[in-house]
Structure 1
Amino acid sequence: MDERVICEGNFVLSSKTQASATSPCDVPSKDEGNLSTVMESININEEDHNELNKQKHEAKNLDQVLKQQEKASTVLDGQNLTEVNQLSEGVTVEEKDADPVFDGTEAPELETDKAFSSQNMDPADPEVQVYAWPEKAVALRNFVREKSAVAVSTMLRRLSSKKNQEELGDYNDIVTKGHDKDQDVETDSKENKVSPKDGEQSLWNPLNFMKIRRNADSQSKTDHLEHASFDNLLQETIQRRIIVYTRLGCQECRMVRSLLNMKRLKYVEINIDIFPTRKLELEKRTGSSVVPKVYLNDFLVGGLDELKAMDESGQLDEKIKDLFIEESIPTAPLPPLPGEDDESGNGTIDDMASIVRKMKESIIIKDRFYKMRRFSNCFVGSEAVNFLSEDQYFEREEAVEFGRKLVGMHFFQHITNENIFEDGSHLYRFLEHDPVIMTQCYNFPRGVIEVKPKPITEIASRLRFLSYAIIEAYVSEDGRHVDYRSIHSCEEFKRYLRTIEELQRVDLEPLSREEKLAFFINLYNMMAIHAILTLGFPARALERRTFFGDFKYVIGGCAYSLSAIHNGILRGNQRPPYNITKPFGQRDKRIKVAFPYPEPLVHFALVCGTRSGPALRCYSPGNIDKELIESARDFIKTGGLFVDSESSVASITKILRWYSVDFGKNEVEVLKHAANYLEPQKSEDLLELLSSTQLKVTYQPYDWSANY
């Protein structure tokens, strides 16, 4: 029989033939006389002699058969050696834990009409707090279900062969992320980099078959972003021929936008605060920098009053019809050019980056084993110390300190964050070699930026500036509807994509509480828009898991998903609803960035693109608390909490239920907290009903559809 032993990807063959010590194969035989002598010495008769000869002949035949089987097995093993090595690698391949994510899935027993909601509302009554236990049970069940699905997916992926990968390579292009056909160069380059490396993750996932019908069902929704109607296509021909000069915070500019949108006219907006050189151009053309100013080709309409007058007289419609016939005139104002007045990417080259580049060329970077796991693209600490000692003329102790300085600048880190940097056999990995950063971070299209990192306050200010401009121009005045198509094609969003690349190696420690709060809220909202434009809108629970958990930015050397920002940073590392794990573990470096306690008002500011979410706004660090209170009042007053005094029923948003621990210990405290943001009379009615312990609470269904 053949015994096969797999040892770290190597295939070893060994053949064993079981035979007795008295077998004729083990007896030396030169000729027949010698055989007779031997037989006589052990008193074997003639019949035994014939039987032994027969056994000898059979043993030779058996030995020949075994040799043939061994040769055939060797040939077969040679053909399958690659597949065996792949299977061996799959068993020990590095796998990153997914971020805990709330995808909107709830248990039937915890739906809107619940028995506890109509019970006595006395906070001293222990039955009021009973509802927390079913939620924990559901969280445990969801956790087991999630891990089971991951285990099944991993096993199927490991058992899949290379042949299946090649056959399904073209098919998987249909179900890969990224629905927008008009993606810009930055997004295209990012998609080329998100493909997992060979050996780290299989290209084929059998669970993709489960996504076919889902993607087909959601295609009609993504068509809203991808395809325009015939009328819109006609408007595209004149979009670049209607130019509107604006600036931030201008009320008349908002009214001009409303008028043009009401007439369903597409236009190009030039914000002179974002593009300061266009302010000089406007002064040269009109003799003034007063905005708004509207141009139809090279014809100056003027400001708001002139535009209204032309519209009322019918001259505007006639002029618009001429734009379909007229050709674009060279003397007309041009739309913003790519990279115009853009400060992102500028700066001095980091000297440390040059040293790191030389280090990558000198030390050995390869896959290595550590604690029964295989980690890709690692290097040994002692080799890095050797390089730094020779290149920088350091003693080994000085080289270790210099290496720790490089770690602090987010060039590389320990593979499991067990230490900062040590001399010895510890394994480390450069930032661009981290599999999560390579495959899931969408602000990392060209690798590590070698420009010296700018202060986080400066980057946050520029990002806030861009967010303000995008929201003001392409979001409705109530903040409930977003023009994703226009955002995708505007130059402000392209500048935003270039600016977020500067977050790779920033230092977040200098941020104050107010600055950090405004920075992460604004980043979350823009990151959600970026995810929708890249992945398409998540229509179902599985898509929302990818949306909230797998779309990430690398900030300060760490990867942050939408869920990590929401639950890990802004909620003080609290577990998401119906989850039993926290976003950050004890060794996670991101836990130092998290707030020490939950910020409950962020739930009225974070917008993930749903209709039931709050209004989309931009927040400033100077007035962050005041602005959050205003957002909470707006959300609660416009349907987040409705109280019917006659029937003693309160209908509240599910956001207050999912994140109830951030607002109070029980339902009564949550409602009292929400009452602070109601109008005075409604707040008094709610508190009176709570004191009478006769209030019935129902939860509004959450609308996960897109806020187009």
Structure 2
Amino acid sequence: MENQHLSETKAASSQEVEKLQEDASAIQIEDQEKEAKAQNIGHGDTEFDNKLDDISDVIKDVKDGRTKSDTDAEINDNVIGDSGLAQAKTETEVEHVGQEYSGDKVEAGRDFEHKSEEKNLDDNSGQDDLAKEENVGRGTESTDMDQKADEIPNEDSNLDPVFDGTEIPGMEANRSTSIRKLDGDQGSPGVVEKAVALKNLVKEKSAVAVSTMLRRLSGKSDEAAVDSFDDEGKDISDISEVNEAKLVSEKPAEKSAWNPLNYIKKSSDADAVNKTGQKDSITDGPPPPIALKGRIILYTKLGCQESKIFRLFLRTKRLRYVEINIDVYPGRKMELEKISGSTSVPKLFFNEICIGGLSELKNLDESGKLDEKIDFLITEAPLFETPSPPFSGEDDISSTGAVDELALIARKMKESITVKDRLYKMRRFTNCFLGSDALDFLSEDQYLERPEAVEFARKLASKLFFRHVLDENLFEDGNHVYRFLDDDPIVVSQCHNIPRGIATVNPKPIAEIASRLRFLASAMFEAYAFEDGRRVDYTSLHGSEEFARYLRIVEELQRVEIWDMSREEKLAFFINLYNMMAIHAISILGHPEGTLERRKLFGEFKYVIGGSTYSLSAIQNGILRGNQRPPYNLKKPFGAKDKRSKMALPYPEPLIHFALVCGTRSGPALRCYSPGKIDEELLDAARNFLRSGGLEIDLTAKVAHASKILKWYSIDFGKSEVEVIRHVSNYLDPADSEILLDLLASSELKVVYQPYDWGLNC
């Protein structure tokens, strides 16, 4: 029985030896392939042969019948030692990349195979454990080799890691299956360089695509278009460089947790920072005035230089005052003569005390007594004798005039007929009425026959009280659908000069309205704009009686006749209206802090003028630029069937860009324009803007720093950048113009556009 058991043990041991030989051969072949790819065979062969001899000795010991525990321990030690050999081998190979193949390792493999074939085991002790320990040892070897492989530097040790979003956390722990690929890459530097270049390209394009998508999602394509010019002009390469720097600087552990939403988050954070900075810049105005219980009254008149000095002095002292312009309020001349004995201006009052003119004010300031007067104002409230500020409607003729009987009939008709939402030609229109209903009312109210009622209704329509919803006709009997002017959804939601419905006063001529508007704007610009119109005191302006009068004047534009205006009248009227309309928009909407808010200011804040709606963009691009496309837009403001196109100038007037002020710091200065001198005044505005920083020349660097306005509206000045610069050189100082033209002639001039400051000009 014992002999039979011994024979079975020997047979099992023989099978184990054969299995061990096959596994050892597989390990050897794998190592040879790996070393061949690394081109580093021929080092450390003696040490490896010694290890193989140790394994053969272990096999002999097993054959001689050593105990299971001793065999397991020794085999485990030898296998682990073999793993350490592999680690040392890998380090040695990396240090000697590129050496020639010696073939010694192949001979070592052959010797190992020859020696293994001569061994036979008679004992099966530890059969299963041997297999398990061998597998564990091989796994340990692979893990250790992977750890060493991870420490292998690339050919360019200074190359920053490139993250392409393909790695996942914990990848390093599962790389034992990619040892051959890693070692193969070490011998292929060209492949590595191409891969790095490809990753950099994908990363840069991805960053550009994400930033472009975010800009387009922000809704920058709008009617105004001006609001997005600064962003459109931004160099894409700058964006990609910033994003690349951010990505490369991240740690590998952080890069592995890649999430595309991080780009959106970073962009939102950047926008928040920009908005915060912009808010700070908006509030960076003059310091707040001193709190006074008393009242300061300053009497002035238009075009008075001493009045300008008075205003500047009071602002410097941080004293808030009420200005009474005796040209705007002629009734105050008698009051001034009564309380001071003279109508000469400027004249200053602290409560009921008359300080006097400019010379008296200087004497008080030099003697130090002015501070005592100011202290008196801080604590003492005004008495009854103190001149009062202008009251609402004082000396104002805006709301005066003959009552329009047609307006009263139209109002009565609106109250009598059914006005509701209706379907017309498969479309739904809000707040409409039928032509037949209107005729029923007119026939009964005005005692007219049906044909006479039709003519009367057409007369009402021609006076712009109502219109056909699709402009198909002036007025017809039947089921045609019409809508009152003040019921139009755009008028209701976006127009700000029709707060009380249709005006009931007869429309005044446009020349008269334009004259009063120009006169009032001049007074407001003198009183509330400073630094030659570059800055505006919006708080005082919005709270003034002059601004309230302006709001009453623009209500008269609802049904005014504007079709017969000349070119000069259009230029002066619409430039002045644009500038005042922008001030009105800022008072209602606030200063726009971003793209979407600028879109609302330029495209959605409107007036009703002559029965049609006009935004700031429609005035600028539709009328003053001759119905030209706004920059970066595909459509013209007025379509072919738009009756507003009749108001467009026959050709664009480029100098209007130096006169239109939308409340930004990079815009031109505020001033008024008159039809009689409009061309001279526009030339003066162009010279003032360009010579005050709109176009600066660096002769040393041969660079012209131009305002972004010249880029956005370049088509108005010339067909190319050279033509644009040549055009505007006419408005520079003669010396600067000559230098600029010489640089243009030598083709050495480089044009750089200045960043546009959208901050409020306060």
Matched residue type, 2:325: N
* Offset of residue 645 of structure 1: 3.0
The aligned runs of 1:268-417 (5 Å cut-off) are 268-417=322-471
Q: In the TM superposition, what whole-angstrom CA distance separates every residue of 1:209-259 from its partner, at most 9, and x where no partner exists? A: xx999988876677679xx98x63x42533xx1111000000011111111
Count of residue pairs brought into register by the alignment:
511
* Offset of residue 690 of structure 1: 1.6
Q: Is 1:111 the equivalent of 2:234?
A: yes
Q: Report the counterpart of residue 465 of structure 1 in structure 2.
A: 519
Q: Give the distance between the partners of 2:631 and 2:684, measured in 1 at CA.
A: 25
* Offset of residue 326 of structure 1: 2.0
* Offset of residue 381 of structure 1: 2.3
2:628 to 561, 566, 574: 574
- 3-state DSSP of counterpart to 1:575: coil
1:108 to 1:470, Cα distance in 2 relative to 1, 3 A = closer
1:641 to 1:541, Cα distance in 2 relative to 1, 3 A = same
- 3-state DSSP of counterpart to 1:465: helix
1:534 to 1:237, Cα distance in 2 relative to 1, 3 A = farther
* Offset of residue 704 of structure 1: 0.8
Q: Report the counterpart of residue 168 of structure 2 in structure 1.
A: none
CA contact (8 A) 1:413 1:429 kept: yes
TM-score by length of 1: 0.69
* Offset of residue 417 of structure 1: 2.2
- 3-state DSSP of counterpart to 2:697: strand
Q: Give the distance between the partners of 1:114 and 1:416, measured in 2 at CA.
A: 48
1:690 to 1:396, Cα distance in 2 relative to 1, 3 A = farther
Q: Report the counterpart of residue 235 of structure 1 in structure 2.
A: 291
CA contact (8 A) 2:352 2:387 kept: yes
CA contact (8 A) 2:621 2:627 kept: yes
Q: Give the distance between the partners of 1:532 and 1:468, measured in 2 at CA.
A: 19
Q: Is 1:100 the equivalent of 2:216?
A: no
Q: Give the distance between the partners of 2:360 and 2:230, measured in 1 at CA.
A: 58
CA contact (8 A) 2:336 2:342 kept: yes
Q: Give the distance between the partners of 1:380 and 1:99, measured in 2 at CA.
A: 35
Q: Give the distance between the partners of 1:321 and 1:220, measured in 2 at CA.
A: 32
Matched residue type, 2:317: K
* Offset of residue 113 of structure 1: 10
Where relative contact order (Cα < 8 A, 6+ residues apart) is larger, the structure is 1
1:496 to 532, 550, 555: 550
Q: Is 1:487 the equivalent of 2:610?
A: no
Q: Give the distance between the partners of 2:276 and 2:314, measured in 1 at CA.
A: 35
Q: Is 1:684 the equivalent of 2:738?
A: yes
Gaps of 5+ in 1: 1-97, 116-210
- 3-state DSSP of counterpart to 1:361: helix
Q: Is 1:443 the equivalent of 2:497?
A: yes
Q: Give the distance between the partners of 2:332 and 2:230, measured in 1 at CA.
A: 55
1:307 to 1:633, Cα distance in 2 relative to 1, 3 A = same
* Offset of residue 523 of structure 1: 0.8
The aligned runs of 1:151-300 (5 Å cut-off) are 232=289, 234-238=290-294, 241-300=295-354
Q: Identify the structure with the greater helix proportion.
A: 2
Q: Is 1:526 the equivalent of 2:649?
A: no
The aligned runs of 1:579-594 (5 Å cut-off) are 579-594=633-648
- 3-state DSSP of counterpart to 1:237: coil
* Offset of residue 108 of structure 1: 7.0
* Offset of residue 419 of structure 1: 2.6
CA contact (8 A) 2:352 2:386 kept: yes
Q: Which structure has the larger Rg? A: 2
Q: Give the distance between the partners of 2:472 and 2:277, measured in 1 at CA.
A: 45
Q: Give the distance between the partners of 1:328 and 1:439, measured in 2 at CA.
A: 43
* Offset of residue 390 of structure 1: 4.1
Query: Once superposed, what is the RMSD of the aligned Cα atoms?
Result: 2.6
Q: Give the distance between the partners of 2:292 and 2:625, measured in 1 at CA.
A: 43
Q: In the TM superposition, what whole-angstrom CA distance separates every residue of 1:382-410 from its partner, at most 9, and x where no partner exists? A: 33234334443445444333323222211
Q: Is 1:704 the equivalent of 2:745?
A: no
Matched residue type, 1:111: K
Matched residue type, 1:463: L
- 3-state DSSP of counterpart to 1:449: coil
* Offset of residue 420 of structure 1: 2.3
- 3-state DSSP of counterpart to 2:731: coil
* Offset of residue 366 of structure 1: 1.4
Q: In the TM superposition, what whole-angstrom CA distance separates every residue of 1:69-122 from its partner, at most 9, and x where no partner exists? A: xxxxxxxxxxxxxxxxxxxxxxxxxxxxx971214324878437999xxxxxxx
CA contact (8 A) 1:112 1:700 kept: no
Q: Report the counterpart of residue 58 of structure 1 in structure 2.
A: none
Q: Give the distance between the partners of 1:374 and 1:218, measured in 2 at CA.
A: 43
CA contact (8 A) 2:292 2:379 kept: no
Matched residue type, 1:235: A
CA contact (8 A) 1:417 1:587 kept: no
TM-score by length of 2: 0.64
Q: Report the counterpart of residue 63 of structure 1 in structure 2.
A: none
Q: Give the distance between the partners of 1:358 and 1:661, measured in 2 at CA.
A: 50
Gaps of 5+ in 2: 1-220, 239-270
Q: Report the counterpart of residue 627 of structure 1 in structure 2.
A: 681
